[in-house]
Amino acid sequence: MTHRIAVLISGNGSNLQALIDAIHAGSLTADIALVLSNRADAGGLARAQQQGITTAVVDHRDYASRADFDQAMIAVLDRHGPLDTVVLAGFMRILTPAFVQHHAGRLLNIHPSLLPRYPGLNTHQRALDAGDAEHGCSIHFVTDELDGGPLIAQARIPVRANDNVSDLSKRVQASEHLLYPQVVAWRAEGRLRLTDDGVELDGQILPAQGYQWHHPDGAEHCSGIGARQR
């Protein structure tokens, strides 16, 4: 059975495009069963539609509460199930415990910082303001804690002396586009799961910070990502 995923977006969908590209390249064997957005004007919807991928919009403004909104999303996702993985790719809504529990162990998120540093917004400016030598992105299983679920993988890039928010954002996003398809591929290959003991990859429990990828020049290459853990 092909691994079935749903992708939740709120904006342009660049990480969605990275997943689509990985499927076309053969490095990710999965079927995107649905792209769901809380915004009808999200650019990522057009990306999906151009590929013949089913899309849906559940506008959070149509619901009186977060709980009602999340229940509506659950209903739409369940209609397109069964789903093996639900991928948050720039989905800008805080999810309720009911939504998280409904997809427990199948819900992934990507965040533009080296968690646990800088949960929330404005991560690139916060890294620059702190004078950090490294920045990057983190992929984690989602729990009730905002940006606080068990870490799967992190891509680290150096912060350069002349970096501004735009420079840093572009390089972090480039690393996202490499790392997220690989992590989803681990799921599709049956290599990655969440256990009571932590995040398991290839039968081994990962350290608390997850799989670590470094590249001295930023995110221009992907050497090391995808190597089987032994």
Does residue 222 fall inside a structural domain?
Answer: no
Does residue 181 fall inside a structural domain?
Answer: yes
102-111, 191-200, 211-220: least confident range: 211-220
For the chain, percent of residues with pLDDT exceeding 90: 89
CATH number of the CATH domain containing 91 = 3.40.50.170
Give the chain's domain count. 1
Query: 61: which 2 tokens?
Result: 């403004």
List residues with catalytic annotation: 111
Does residue 224 fall inside a structural domain?
Answer: no
Does residue 177 fall inside a structural domain?
Answer: yes
Does residue 197 fall inside a structural domain?
Answer: yes
The pLDDT value recorded for residue 145 is: 85
Look at residues 73, 39, 27, 35 and name the one whose alpha carbon lies nearest to residue 51: 35
Rounded distance, CA 149 to CA 145, Å? 7
The pLDDT value recorded for residue 110 is: 97
The pLDDT value recorded for residue 214 is: 74
Rounded distance, CA 196 to CA 120, Å? 26
Identity of the residue numbered 224? G
- Domain containing 50 equals 3-214
Mean pLDDT of 74-83: 97
The whole-chain average pLDDT of the chain stands at: 93
The pLDDT value recorded for residue 215 is: 58
The pLDDT value recorded for residue 226 is: 47
DSSP state string for 138-181? EEEE--SSTT-SPEEEEEEEEPPTT--HHHHHHHHHHHHHHHHH
Q: In the structure, what pLDDT confidence band is assigned to residue 217 with cuts at 50, 70 and 90?
A: low
Does residue 163 fall inside a structural domain?
Answer: yes
Look at residues 208, 190, 187 and name the one whose alpha carbon lies nearest to residue 199: 208
What is the tens place of the pLDDT at every residue in 143-190?
A: 988 888 999 999 999 999 999 999 999 999 999 999 999 999 999 999
The pLDDT value recorded for residue 19 is: 98
DSSP state string for 84-95? SEEEESS--SPP
